[in-house]
């Protein structure tokens, strides 16, 4: 379900997720792709890979944020899952699916 427009730079989301290595990596990729899209302006809409990477970086930020808020008391077990998530699922450029 979509609730409408989201901010271009989710600063609160960055602040909450940057306490983990996976969150810092997702934020770095998001900011780099957003800067590239901003510089390209109209041509960015034609670059499907750029838009896909931007969307996936934002999704990864949200998943990490939910995990950090949910698993705050789980200690080592939660950190292990987050490292596994970063290693297995956070791939950039995002793979194209047919």
Tokens, residue 11: 């600063």
State residue 38's pLDDT score. Answer: 86
Q: What is the pLDDT of residue 1?
A: 45
Number of structural domains found in the chain: 1
User: How do residues 4-54 score in pLDDT, each as one tens digit?
Assistant: 677 778 888 889 888 888 888 888 888 888 888 888 888 877 877 888 888
In-domain check, residue 1: no
pLDDT of residue 73: 58
Residue 38 included in any domain: yes
Decide if 69 is inside a domain: yes
Q: Is the pLDDT of residue 72 over 80?
A: no
Within-domain flag for 7: no
Model confidence band, residue 2 (pLDDT cutoffs 50, 70, 90): low
Q: What is the dihedral of CA 28, 86, 64, 69, to 10 degrees?
A: -130
DSSP for the chain, please give it: ---S---SS-HHHHHHHTTSHHHHHHHHHHHHHHHHHHHHGGGGGG-HHHHHHHHHHHHHHHHHHHHHHHSTT-THHHHHHHHHHHHHH--SSPPP--
The reply to whether 80 falls in a domain is yes
Task: With respect to residue 57, please indicate whether it lies within any of the assigned structural domains.
Answer: yes
Tell me, yes or no, whether 95 lies in a domain: no
Domain extent at residue 25 = 12-89
Query: Whole-angstrom Cα distance, residue 91 to residue 80?
Result: 18
Dist. CA 18–CA 28, nearest whole Å: 10
Q: Please indicate, yes or no, if residue 98 is contained in any of the structural domains.
A: no
Q: What is the mean pLDDT of residues 58-68?
A: 87
């Amino acid at each position: 379900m979509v609730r409408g427009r989201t901010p271009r730079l989710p600063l609160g989301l960055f602040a909450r997720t940057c306490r983990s290595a996976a969150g810092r990596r997702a934020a770095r990729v998001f900011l780099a792709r957003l800067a590239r899209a901003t510089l390209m302006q109209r041509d960015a809409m034609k670059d499907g890979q750029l838009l896909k990477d931007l969307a996936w970086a934002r999704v990864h930020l949200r998943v990490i944020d939910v995990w950090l808020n949910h698993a705050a008391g789980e200690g080592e077990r939660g950190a292990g899952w987050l490292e596994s998530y970063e290693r297995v699922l956070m791939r950039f450029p995002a793979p194209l699916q047919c």
